[in-house]
Structure 1
Amino acid sequence: MSHDKQFTLYSHPTGPNGWKTAFILTELGLSYETIYLDFMTGEHKAPEYTKYNPNGRVPALIDHSNSDFVVWESNAIAIYLVDKYDTDHRVSASSLESRIQQLQWLFFQASGQGPYFGQGVWFRLYHPEKLPSAIERYQKEVVRVLSVLESVLSQQEWLVEGKCTVADLSFITWNNSIATVIMKGYESFDLENDFPAVHAWHKRLLSRDAVIQVLDVQEREAQKHPLLHKLLHGEV
């Protein structure tokens, strides 16, 4: 079967992790087609998709130029893309030591930022009961994660090797949800004042051409789904 684009990306209009992959593909100038799964109808749990990702979550990426090789888990996808296609290290570390540092931040994002921020969203918006203690727990974890980032970014502009890498790019989408969703009602939280280095870093990331391009696509996709668009902008 022939494909017009090199990659097929399975994603969701507002779910954060597929957009992380889109940032990297766009930064590297790689062509891809995105298929947005409808979570409300269970497309992400259907056999047509779980044959690619048995975990039934997004993203999954198919590389048609590499015998339809399939990768799932967003940070595994990030490593695959830069190891195979970023040979001049545009958005990846070059030395062994820096690559390990890059990997450590990807692990931190996947084990720290993603789960805690994700649970923060869940208990703020979706849990059938309002549990203030659970909301507070995950809001405090958000503060802890941001404190770790602040301690490093107050000393340097980027996480690894003095430049933007996939390590930095991996944090964008969840950080976008801090003010609009997760931290609503948490004392007097103010990202710019409380974590100025993180705020400046996030602004640098949002100013990148590839990130602007991808977030414009996300906005257009979200507009097709009024409820998802409200969620994206913290209006629910």
Structure 2
Amino acid sequence: MSYPDIQLFTAATMNGWKPLIFLEEAGAEYELVGVDFSTRAHKAPDFLALNPNGKIPALIDRGNNDFAVFESGAMLWYLAEKYGQFLSADPNTRSETLQWLMLQMGGVGPAMGQAMFFARFAEDAGQASAAATARFTGESRRLFEVLDTRLQERDWLVGDAYSIADMAIFPWVRCHSWATISMDGLDHLAAWIERLDARPAVARALQLPNPAPKFLARYD
């Protein structure tokens, strides 16, 4: 029996959807392995052999001697190079794409993750901090404004083409309501979300793996 090159270990989270969006958009064959956080499967020795940090997603490329890749941004970069899609060969456009990818990894993702924690989970756990909530929701909103400005005269973040930069940032921005981030006045960013939501491959990816947690619904 033959198996697809890519075996993807992931879950329905913002980072977890990123490689799924790429694979669905690229039309690549892959094997999806859902990771169950409730059983701490991501901390098991076999998973830690793929990702020593014990986080999803992670993948194995059977077509490359079972090469393992972890960190969702690095994974998008790896897949773009493997399949020759969604990352321009032009050096300047390629660099721009990677710059916006790094903004997600170093800015949007961390800020939104903390905003979600303090605006939602900390409250339920009795660890609420008004200062921390204001700090991270404010930083998330500032980054949204950066993105909105970038999208004033373009459909996609880099050049004229949809890229891994869009794929990386989209799942985080899409969950703005859960992080209590206002979208008021961010019309260009809102239109970008709608463009991505309308893509069939994106819609498929967001339904995987099942079941998607209710708290990640866009308009919860």
TM-score interval, smaller chain? over 0.9
2:30 to 29, 32, 46: 32
Residue 107 in 1 paired to residue 97 in 2? no
Residue 213 in 1 paired to residue 213 in 2? no
Please report the TM-score for the alignment, with normalisation by the length of structure 2: 0.92
Please report the TM-score for the alignment, with normalisation by the length of structure 1: 0.86
- Return structure 1 stretches of 4+ with deviation > 6 angstroms: none
Counting aligned pairs with the same residue, the percent is 33
Q: Verify the 8 A CA contact 1:153 1:159 in the aligned structure 2.
A: yes
Q: Verify the 8 A CA contact 2:35 2:41 in the aligned structure 1.
A: yes
The one-letter code of the counterpart of 1:18 is G
Q: Verify the 8 A CA contact 1:93 1:160 in the aligned structure 2.
A: no
1:195 to 186, 190, 201: 186
Residue 4 in 1 paired to residue 3 in 2? yes
How many equivalent pairs are there?
217
Once residues 234 and 93 of structure 1 are traced to their aligned partners in structure 2, the CA distance between those partners, rounded to angstroms, is 30
The equivalent of 2:64 in structure 1 is 66
1:117 to 103, 112, 116: 112
Residue 182 in 1 paired to residue 179 in 2? yes
Three-state SS of the structure 2 residue aligned to 1:130 is coil
Once residues 219 and 143 of structure 2 are traced to their aligned partners in structure 1, the CA distance between those partners, rounded to angstroms, is 25
Q: What is the RMSD computed on CA atoms of the aligned residues? A: 1.8
The equivalent of 2:217 in structure 1 is 233
How far does residue 113 in structure 1 lie from its aligned partner after superposition? 0.5
2:43 to 45, 51, 68: 45
Unaligned 5+ segments in structure 1 are 223-227
Q: Verify the 8 A CA contact 1:3 1:64 in the aligned structure 2.
A: no
How far does residue 93 in structure 1 lie from its aligned partner after superposition? 1.7
The equivalent of 2:136 in structure 1 is 138
CA shift digits 1:63-121 (9 cap, x unpaired): 111111111111111111111212xx4x2223000000000000000001000000111
Unaligned 5+ segments in structure 2 are none
Once residues 93 and 139 of structure 2 are traced to their aligned partners in structure 1, the CA distance between those partners, rounded to angstroms, is 27
2:19 to 18, 21, 38: 21
Once residues 162 and 156 of structure 2 are traced to their aligned partners in structure 1, the CA distance between those partners, rounded to angstroms, is 6
The farther-off stretch of 125-134 and 58-67 is 125-134
Once residues 234 and 65 of structure 1 are traced to their aligned partners in structure 2, the CA distance between those partners, rounded to angstroms, is 36
Greater relative contact order (Cα 8 A, min sep 6): structure 1 or 2?
2
Change in CA separation of 1:148 and 1:234 when aligned onto 2, cut-off 3 Å = closer
The one-letter code of the counterpart of 2:216 is L
